[in-house]
Structure 1
Amino acid sequence: MAEITKKLLNGDGKGNGGEEAVRFKDKLWAEKKKMWVVAGPAIFTRFSTFGVTVISQAFVGHIGPIQLAAYSLVFTVFLRFANGILLGMASALETLCGQAYGAKQYHMLGIYLQRSWLVLTICAVCLLPLFIFTAPILRVLGQDEEIIQVAKGIGYWLIPIMFSFIVSYTCQMYLQAQAKNLIIAYLAAFSLVTHLFLSWLLTVKFKLGLDGALTSTVLAYWIPNIGQLLFVTCGGCKETWTGFSTLAFKELGPVFKLSLSSGVMLCLELWYNTVLVLLTGNLKNAKVAIDALAICININGLEMMISLGFLAAASVRVSNELGRGSSKAAKFSIKVIVSTSFTIGFVLFLFFLALRGNLAYLFTTSEEVVKAVADLSPLLALSILLNSVQPVLSGVAIGAGWQSVVAYVNIACYYLIGIPIGVVLGYVVGLQVKGVWTGMLLGVFVQSIVLVIITSKTDWEEQVFMSRTRLRRWFVEGPEDRNRNTQNV
């Protein structure tokens, strides 16, 4: 960041360095405000959603170990799988809404939102068998029969939660494109407090057990959705929501194609950590290794909420500026967001490197696990540092509409480089979990380098042209356009 500032402060050699410094500071301050308007609420919302999951697990855990095991299994294996697909496919809306808003095609945002609802609903219906046939699937996977019987009922409970993702993700991305996501943060906070109260009321006070905890969980996911839908349709977005339209059923093919590319891109990233856990489960002394790794992944997951907030900011700012036709502003936004995220990541990198295993005492009393966490701390710190760059570059890709390109990059870096090297280091060389994680981190590092190269070598004027072409191809006249054309005639 200091290097960028220095270059711009040097001026053009005509004695106007001071004037350029003032202009740069104003430009930088304006960009940071636009960034935090999106990133701040996005980070808070993600922490709140993470809190809902923690509260649910805590209350289910107090009901019984079998219930906790069944809930964790279904939630981790099935709901997270569905969540990854739906979140990935919904990210196509970030590209479309962000670019349309930048181009002042305001009425198209509502049409894109409705098209995304249709595409994601079709996808969710296709995912229903996972939750309907939870028991047979777990039986094939060799799980304990007692856990399977409890998991069967939980599978049905998680169906409305899966469908809640459709409204949640699409409305969030629709509102973020307009920098109106503060309402999402308010609703997330209200939902978190309500979930805590209802979980206590239904499980402790009324002793409804697992059904009580799951009822509260379903409500916690749907309360923000109802609030977002009311905000969108009842006057909160007058420029961009013009009512339900049959136009939503047109041009579904291109939307589905972009959504599929987005889904593949994000799923490959989300499933990467799952592979890390599965590989660790086959190592020697797997119990201690998995416990230590779970603690590290939980800490890494918490920090990831910050990175995902900057991912949202990057996708919104880049798509807005491309839609507006300003390649220079898009490049400047990328520099500001990446440097800000990296600075925060570097501070956290030093913090976790200094703490080492001491943080593990928040999660366990086992000295053996604490020692294992201390041994993994350098990798955790390095992972946090990489997280400060890689998700932001993914956000840039979403904003520019490069999902299909990044999907290929992810396949090559994660599954052809990271995992094979991790297997060799962990199993053949004998580094155990450190070897597996080192290989996986190498995959993330290579991916980050590739995305940096792609971003830096990109012709952003051409990206503006491609954005305009996409918007023009999918554009339909709104009421204002028809009135203007009528007047001209």
Structure 2
Amino acid sequence: MDNSTEERLLLLEEFDREGLKKRVWNESKKLWRIAFPGIIARVTSFGMIVVTQLFMGHISELDLAAFGLQQSILLRFVNGILIGMSSATETLCGQAYGAGQYHMMGIYLQRSWIIDGVTATILLPLFIFTTPILRLIGQEENIAIAAGKISIWFIPILYYFVFSLTIQMYLQAQQKNKIVGWFSASSFLVHVLLSWLFVIKLGFGLAGAMSAFIISSWLLVIGEFVYIFGGWCPNTWKGFTKAAFADMIPLVKLSISSGVMICLELWYSSILVLLAGYMKNATVAISAFSICLNFNGWEFMVCLGFLGSSCVRISNELGRGNAKAAKFSIKVALVTSIIIGIIFWVLCMLFSREMSYLFTSSEEIAESVSRLHVLLAFSMLLNSVAVGAGVQSMVAFVNLGSYYAIGLPVGILLGYVAHLQGLWIGLLSGVVVQTLVLSYLIWKIDWNEQVNKASERLGRFFIETTKGSDESSNLS
């Protein structure tokens, strides 16, 4: 019997000795220790977008609609790609940390910067030619022109995503969650202060709102760079290395499969916002739908932050070779996440109209938001069901079928009959199908097989660290 097999048996014996209550309590503590800072990071990062839209709504209805269109379609489009591709960093770093291969984490981070940076540059023309693109697909002229002016301001935000998303997952995988939470919360507070100063106090309008967004975002990234390069990650950051350029193809494949999974989910709602732009009184329709998506998105960020911690916990246990603990972790995460969804469901049912006035003073837009509140509440509830669990390619196919083969056609069909409510019913029907299918698939996962896959992946990406190799690989 080899050492790895003996270690697995010892882990299983230790796991079995604990009672159910103790196991749930211990697993919950481990999850929340990772999750709470992760939730803070996700919510405040998305919150900066929401706060910017909030101030846009008090500049003019046109700016609110244009920003809503940009944020709900273009920004969500590229953010979906980069979040998804960055989740490969989370998976690999979590497994490397669990297996004690700490030096590989810094290499994975550098590889993700290269891959995500190239991807962001490829997407750059979407921000430069926004107005012609929106004209081409038939959006109203005034909204297309206003959105084009805003899109140029989003270019620095595009590259902010490249670094902030990957660094957050790198730090989270090695249990450095508090620093992620502190940096994100501080950046959010700076953003609120700057937005108030530039828009309300100094009256800079659109330029003031977007400048506040850019400054506060990059302050976060600069703080994270200082933390990593300043020596606070001594085991996982060994400096820039040529090894980051080795074996890129397998990581690109993993990043793409992870990216497709998240993209199909985020783009689904983006397409529905685009459809809202073809309705009568498009300014009101886009504004109301994007406000609801903001609430939905904010709750999704809470779930994503919590489920990100679940992925780290599962990756850690898979890296250690403990399949039973990995399976138990996802069960605890699912139950906790559903409880979070119920809380948001109640809040949305009770305070939907009041929440809409945060973004607008228009009674017409607020009324449109209010009419969607029941469907919005159930969307939030279903968002809370965990997805992923290391089966990215499978989830991508599920999302493709449930969203685009079922949800989107239903939304288009009912949109012509029930307008905004019809679009949201389509969104909800896709989420229902996705939730049911994924719940079944996650339940049927063979965790021993996942352990073997994790071990194989770590072996494939592993680079031996020696004094000589480090000296030869470090870039001067």
Q: Which amino acid aligns with 1:444?
A: V
Change (3 A) 1:138 1:345: closer
- Equivalences for residues 370-385 of structure 1 within 5 A: 373=369, 375-385=371-381
Answering whether residue 128 of structure 2 is matched by residue 132 of structure 1, we say yes
Q: Tell me the residue number matched to 1:415.
A: 404
- Equivalences for residues 70-149 of structure 1 within 5 A: 70-142=66-138
Q: CA deviation at 1:153?
A: 4.8
Change (3 A) 1:248 1:353: same
Is the contact between residue 411 and residue 427 of structure 2 (CA under 8 Å) also seen in structure 1?
A: yes
Q: Tell me the residue number matched to 2:466.
A: 479
Answering whether residue 23 of structure 2 is matched by residue 27 of structure 1, we say yes
SS of the counterpart of 1:393? coil
Q: CA deviation at 1:174?
A: 0.5
Q: Tell me the residue number matched to 1:54.
A: 50
| Distance in 2 between residues matched to 1:443 and 1:202, nearest whole Å | 40
Q: Which amino acid aligns with 1:189?
A: A
Q: Tell me the residue number matched to 2:172.
A: 176
Q: Please, which of 233, 244, 249 is the counterpart of residue 248 of structure 1?
A: 244
Q: Tell me the residue number matched to 1:12.
A: none
| Distance in 1 between residues matched to 2:144 and 2:282, nearest whole Å | 23
| Distance in 1 between residues matched to 2:428 and 2:57, nearest whole Å | 32
Q: CA deviation at 1:333?
A: 0.5
Q: CA deviation at 1:205?
A: 5.5
Q: Which amino acid aligns with 1:422?
A: G
Indicate the larger mover: 474-483 or 243-252.
474-483
Is the contact between residue 57 and residue 360 of structure 2 (CA under 8 Å) also seen in structure 1?
A: no
| Distance in 2 between residues matched to 1:421 and 1:150, nearest whole Å | 30
Which runs of 5 or more structure 2 residues have no equivalent in the other structure? 1-15, 471-476
| Distance in 2 between residues matched to 1:70 and 1:98, nearest whole Å | 39
Q: How many residues align?
A: 455
Is the contact between residue 184 and residue 224 of structure 1 (CA under 8 Å) also seen in structure 2?
A: no
Change (3 A) 1:203 1:289: closer
Indicate the larger mover: 441-450 or 467-476.
441-450
Q: CA deviation at 1:46?
A: 2.2
| Distance in 2 between residues matched to 1:57 and 1:296, nearest whole Å | 12
TM-score by length of 2: 0.86
| Distance in 2 between residues matched to 1:414 and 1:181, nearest whole Å | 33
Q: Please, which of 434, 441, 456 is the counterpart of residue 469 of structure 1?
A: 456
Q: Which has the higher contact order (CA 8 A, sep 6+)?
A: 2
Change (3 A) 1:151 1:343: closer
Is the contact between residue 116 and residue 162 of structure 2 (CA under 8 Å) also seen in structure 1?
A: yes
SS of the counterpart of 2:387? helix
Q: CA deviation at 1:122?
A: 0.9
- Equivalences for residues 339-488 of structure 1 within 5 A: 339-353=335-349, 373=369, 375-389=371-385, 392-394=386-388, 396=389, 400=390, 402-427=391-416, 430-479=417-466
| Distance in 1 between residues matched to 2:316 and 2:421, nearest whole Å | 41
Q: Which amino acid aligns with 1:28?
A: V
Is the contact between residue 134 and residue 144 of structure 2 (CA under 8 Å) also seen in structure 1?
A: yes
Q: Which amino acid aligns with 2:431?
A: V
Q: Tell me the residue number matched to 2:3.
A: none
| Distance in 2 between residues matched to 1:23 and 1:458, nearest whole Å | 24
Q: Tell me the residue number matched to 1:271.
A: 267
| Distance in 2 between residues matched to 1:206 and 1:355, nearest whole Å | 32
SS of the counterpart of 1:91? helix
Q: Which amino acid aligns with 1:474?
A: F
Q: Quick check: which has more Rg, 1 or 2?
A: 1
